Amino acid sequence: MSNTEYSLDGDDASKKSFVPQRSLSLKTSPPLSQLALISRLCNGAKFEGKVERVSVSQRTIKGDPTDTAVLRFAEESLQKCLSMDDGTNMVRTLSRTCKKIFEVPFSSRNRWMMSIVQESTPSGFTSTWMLIKGAPDILFPSVSFILDSNSAAVPFNSYQPRLSRLQHQWSLEGQRVIAVCKRPLNDVKLPEDESELAEYLYNEVRNLTLIGLISLRDPPRANMKETMRVIRGAGVRVFMVTGDFLLTAVAIAKQVLIILLYGLS
């Protein structure tokens, strides 16, 4: 990332943009490092079984496919940021400075996931953050800022059209796009009751700072087109029901020759 111009080349970004650091910060780390850190802290998937000294690609993960893919990306990326071995368990490393105090899971109501995290600095100061990731078309109306290359928040308005076009471009290629955001909550008094806190946080999804976009590709199985030809040859009508962004769903439907059923979420 440079001056909020986002590279479209994923390989180039992963190889060249992670700057080695001694520690990570939700406030001052480079944008790509923050993207990985938030993706790791705000995630519904978890590593299971043996983790220590096991490479990320070989670990067993419990969770939905989207969070599973994001978790692998985040774990590998944070290892690069901190110049750690591939078998490092980042949970232990992050637990020294970050403590998750509340979580709102992804649902059809919100189409995002939220984690409330307290981060401690070496000087002893503790800050509270709202970390949230979800569908760009849902979160963009609540975004006020975007990080520049110096990790400073700048107004989002002038960048929104460009990033919306990027979301559409990736979606037309059949990719699922996720927006990753944060918001400081140091000046907000959070309710102590968990049920009240959850509802309160729904109303606090505003003035977000966009950290970046993550794009996931889940290609159809190689035999899907032939399978669809056989099914259609038998006189069967086929419909596809999905909660994906419409353009992503249309792209996948075209790839496998499925008739898309609109209007369902």
CATH number listed for the domain at residues 10-217: 3.40.1110.10
pLDDT at 258 over 60: yes
Is residue 18 very low, low, confident or very high in pLDDT (cuts 50, 70, 90)?
A: confident
Give the pLDDT of residue 144. Answer: 97
Domain ranges of the chain: 10-217, 224-260
Taking only the tens place, the pLDDT of each residue in 41-66 is: 999 999 999 898 899 999 999 999 89
Taking only the tens place, the pLDDT of each residue in 63-97 is: 998 999 999 999 999 999 999 998 999 998 999 99
* Mean pLDDT within 193-215: 94
Give the pLDDT of residue 200. Answer: 95
Going by C-alpha positions, the residue among 171, 168, 154 that lies closest to residue 217 is 171
| Those residues with Cβ within 8 angstroms of residue 204's Cβ, 6 or more apart along the chain or in another chain | 130, 183, 185, 188
- The partner residues of 155 in beta bridges, in order of sequence, read 145
pLDDT at 159 over 80: yes
Average pLDDT of the chain?
85
pLDDT at 5 over 90: no
Whether the model pTM is above 0.85? no
Burial environment of residue 151 by CB neighbours within 10 A (0 to 12, 13 to 18, 19 or more) = middle
